[in-house]
Amino acid sequence: MASVASTPPYPSAARISDSQCYPQYTASLKCLEEYNSDKSKCQKHFDIYKECKKQERLARLERNKSRSLFS
């Protein structure tokens, strides 16, 4: 019998580490560390990550287009 602790509470919940944008996310964090949280020095990284997330969202919407809540 499996213990409750071995089962994640939300198995379908997305994790940032599962995202295709994880490398861009970590690059943004590393930049912030390198420049002592000076966001202005890391804007390029933020923009790249934001564009990646936008593309990821569009791809997800396209995949789900054929799904129906009523079928």
Give the 3-state secondary structure of residue 10.
coil
Q: What is the pLDDT of residue 1?
A: 47
Q: What is the pLDDT of residues 9-19, one digit of tens each?
A: 555 557 878 88
The better pLDDT of the pair 61, 30 is held by 30
3-state secondary structure 12-36: CCCCHHHCCCHHHHHHHHHHHHHCC
Q: What is the pLDDT of residues 40-65, one digit of tens each?
A: 999 999 999 999 999 999 998 888 88
pTM of this prediction? Answer: 0.71
